[in-house]
Amino acid sequence: MADAVRWHYITGRMFVPTWQEGVIRTSPDPVLMQRQGIADPPAGYFDCKPVAWFSTADPWEPSMAIKLRRKDGTSEFVRDLAGNARHGGGMYRIGVAAATAPISWTGYRKGGFDMPDVCNRMAKRAKDLNADTRNWWASEVQVPRSLWTRVEVWSDELWKPWSLFGGTAE
């Protein structure tokens, strides 16, 4: 698992500006917040050390599920890849080498990247979404396109090379 491709899973709406910029940003980041429509971040949002998140989960990382708001004001997570692609304007994943995202979840927790209570909430959300924190990896720095090894798009229930990155999508 240590040498597995580390994937940055991303919806189509978020992929377009990421591709245009040519960099996977670390989070928290004011630009990412703006893209996600977060006008007023919760207290303590910027207290953690920023990282860019990756996963070795395949076919996708459940913890990045989109949260939809219902008409009655309640919300729920979209728990499947196809539903996230449908609601998110498509689904992409950007692959990097293991050395690009070397911080494991354990390293993140023990490395003081975030408060213990926040890490506990992240782990609880992962469990609730059937994600496995052992698949989580991070980079302390933004990841430029020059370090991307693959870009794939979810199409016809398969991951296919994205043609504009040099692959061929059918």
pLDDT at position 115 is 80
Positions of the chain with pLDDT under 70 = 1-2, 28-48, 166-170
pLDDT at position 112 is 79
Map tokens 């080498």 to a residue. 97
pLDDT at position 32 is 57
Query: Would you list the domain boundaries of the chain?
Result: 6-165
- CA dist 27 and 122 (Å) reads 14
What's the DSSP call for residue 156? T
Q: Among 155, 140, 135, which residue's Cα sits nearest to residue 7?
A: 135
Q: Among 158, 115, 143, 168, which residue's Cα sits nearest to residue 7?
A: 143
pLDDT at position 164 is 74
75-83: Cβ within 8 A, 24+ apart: 77/129, 79/129, 79/130, 81/154, 82/154, 82/157
- CA dist 25 and 159 (Å) reads 23
Strands (E), the chain: 6-11, 23-24, 52-55, 67-69, 75-77, 91-96, 103-104, 136-139, 143-144, 148-155, 158-161
Per residue in 106-116, pLDDT tens? 999 988 777 88
pLDDT at position 106 is 94
Q: Which two tokens stand for residue 46?
A: 């910027």
pLDDT at position 169 is 40
51 CB neighbour count, 10 Å cutoff? 22
